[in-house]
Amino acid sequence: MLFGKRIQKADSLTKYMDALPILQVLPPKYKGQDHTYYEVCMRECKVSVHSELPETTIWGYEGVFPGPTIEVESGERVYIKWENQLPSTHLLPVDFTVHGAHHDVPEVRTVVHVHGAVVEPESDGYPDAWFTKGFQQVGVKFAKRIYQYDNLMNACTLWYHDHAIGITRLNIYAGLAGFFLVRSERERCLNMPSGKYDIPLMLQDRTFNPDGSLYYPMQPDDPISELKTSIVPEFFGKTILVNGKVWPFLEVEPRKYRFRVLNGANSRFFRLKLDSDQLMFQVGTDRGLLTQPIGIKEIILAPAERADIIIDFTNLEGKRITLINDAPAPFPNGEPDNEVREVMQFRVISELEYIDTSSIPAVLEQVPLYSKKDAFRKRFLTLDHSIDKYGREIMLLDNQGWDAPISETPKLGTTEIWYLINLTPDTHPIHIHLIDFLILDRRKFDVDKYNRDKIIEYQGPSIPPEPQERGRKDTARANPNEVTRIIMQFGPYSGLYVWHCHMLEHEDYEMMRPYMIIR
């Protein structure tokens, strides 16, 4: 295919040439007794993603990729002015047929969502609350220039990223993502590895042209002849980046480290293990710490999911340990992608700067318990796929598009159980803004019968979530042929939020729905 020729060959870039970038923490513009204030500006910049590749033009918060890490305390009131100083034409091919991306809106729009934040609706980064360079033009739901975050979360690993309607996949792919860490005194008392031994890792996949520029397809494998540019059903890149470097290495001391692993890819899932076959100790999920650490050899992360893990390199001086990914793409029914079987390498050096006095605590934090009988309401929500007028696959939630009237209106303070009924052949990571939830169970059902009679006929037992998922979640994998049940309490804010699939190509077309918490 025409586009294929220009793409860089994945195996042409030498692995483990460049050191893992340690992401810088953003200093606030103001820090006082009652609040902290930041300014974050989106800019086009050139960065080096690999020393064998010419520089790459990216869009970055503060001009870096990934963006600088924002660190807050639990309960700290933070104001952030997100500003757009990006060019007026997009770095990547825009499809003007997808929802909210028609010719009646500016081509470059941005809005920032802190993924996992407990935040008022006006500051959540609603997809139609977009703004352009210098706030010259704004979307219909734009409410304010300076967002307010009260950070009513416990300690957890969040991330901020773009959420503009119809081009989220392109804006994030261009580089608009960064970490947002919530810390607390309670967490510090647990004495886990901290400071330079607490490292966030943003895993992404990208494809580059030989001139170093980002490659994103203009068309699916089966091109749509009526359109110059068309959205693709999924995007899978040919190289893996961690913290913005292709296949980096990290020198580690022979001691314990805490890694906050985020899947920041558009569509790719990761199934991670260490080639040393050693255990990793998971201490946290998307939205906070687990009740107790669990020893695991494998972690599955769908786009937007996080795992907070401790790896112990004690007594491994001189060893080189590779982080492996064997997830099929698409997940779970695609082929294993051998080109991207490796992610990064840990090189254990011999010197220990200090004796490692950190610990893997036996008890971490209480995870909230919901009783199924507390549920005020159950909602049965399908994940659907069909074909659009161009013959492309289109994914829906509850069989409705983005613009259909709001149908999910939970009452403030009430608990609901959502039945995610997946009628598609893919696993979809379903993310609900504002709240955290627990996964109750997953259960196989008869899809054909459901399509015929709209009745759930279970075909197997209820399977509890994996141990790695038994904590506070904000994104859950809904597998094909399964009903995934999640339980959550809606609050503490009321108003307009969204829920969506976090595979960005699905989210943009049209696997996203508004929901409203009502008083």
Q: Residue numbers of the site for Cu ion (CB under 5 A)?
A: 428, 501, 503, 506
Q: Tell the smallest beta-carbon distance from residue 498 to Cu ion (Å).
A: 14
Spatial distance between the Cα atoms of 241 and 219, rounded to a whole number of angstroms: 23
Which backbone phi and psi does 58 adopt, to 5 degrees?
Answer: -130, 170
Q: Which residues pair with 46 in a beta bridge?
A: 57
Q: Give the separation between CA 45 and CA 64, rounded to whole angstroms.
A: 7
DSSP secondary structure, 74-93, as one string: TT--EEEEEEE---SS-SS-
Residue 217, Cα to own-chain centre: how many angstroms?
A: 21
Minimum gap (Å) between residue 510 Cβ and Cu ion: 11
Closest residue to Cu ion in the complex (CB): 501
Nearer to Cu ion, 94 or 501 (CB): 501
Q: Smaller CB distance to Cu ion: residue 260 or 392?
A: 392
Q: How far is the CB of 422 from Cu ion (least distance, A)?
A: 9
Q: Dmax over Cα atoms in the chain, in whole Å?
A: 66
Residue found by looking up tokens 């082929």 in the block: 335
Q: Which is nearer to Cu ion, 256 or 428 (CB)?
A: 428
The distance of closest approach from Cβ of residue 100 to Cu ion in the complex, given in angstroms and rounded to an integer, is 17
Environment class of 263 (CB within 10 Å of its CB; exposed 0-12, middle 13-18, buried 19+): buried
CB of 197 to Cu ion, least distance (A): 35
Q: Which is nearer to Cu ion, 442 or 506 (CB)?
A: 506
In whole angstroms, the minimum distance from the beta carbon of 511 to Cu ion comes to 5
Task: Write the DSSP assignment of 145-214 as a string of letters.
Answer: SEEEE---S-SEEEEEEE--TTTHHHHHHTT-EEEEEEE-HHHHTT--S-GGGEEEEEEEEEEE-TTS-E
Nearest residue (CB) to Cu ion, 217 versus 303? 303
Which residues, in sequence order, are CB contacts of 36 under 8 Å at separation 6+? 28, 30, 72, 76, 77, 78, 79
Which lies closer to Cu ion via its Cβ, residue 364 or residue 501?
501
CB of 503 to Cu ion, least distance (A): 4
Which has the closest alpha carbon to 163: 149, 177, 152? 177
- CA–CA separation, 486 and 476 (whole Å): 8
CB 95 within 8 A of CB 219: no
Q: Would you say 106 or 334 has its CB closer to Cu ion? A: 334
Q: Which amino acid is at 293?
A: P
Cα–Cα distance, 487 to 501 (Å, whole number): 17
Q: Which residues pair with 489 in a beta bridge?
A: 415
Please give the Cα distance from 64 to 46 (Å, whole number): 9
Cα dihedral 23, 24, 30, 32 sign? positive
Alpha carbon distance, N-terminus to C-terminus of the chain: 54
How far apart CA 344 and CA 478 sit, in angstroms, is: 28
Nearer to Cu ion, 428 or 472 (CB): 428
Cα→Cα distances 378→419, 450, 477, Å? 7, 18, 19
CB of 395 to Cu ion, least distance (A): 6
Which is closer to Cu ion, CB of 166 or CB of 244?
A: 166
The smaller minimum CB distance to Cu ion, of residues 50 and 506, is found at 506
Instruction: Work out how close the CB of 500 gets to Cu ion at its nearest, in angstroms, rounded to a whole number.
Output: 8
Q: Which residues contact 380 (CB under 8 A, 6 or more apart)?
A: 419, 421, 456
Task: Compare residues 165 and 501 and give the one whose CB is closer to Cu ion.
Answer: 501
Q: How far is the CB of 234 from Cu ion (least distance, A)?
A: 9
Of residues 54 and 332, the one with the C-beta less far from Cu ion: 332
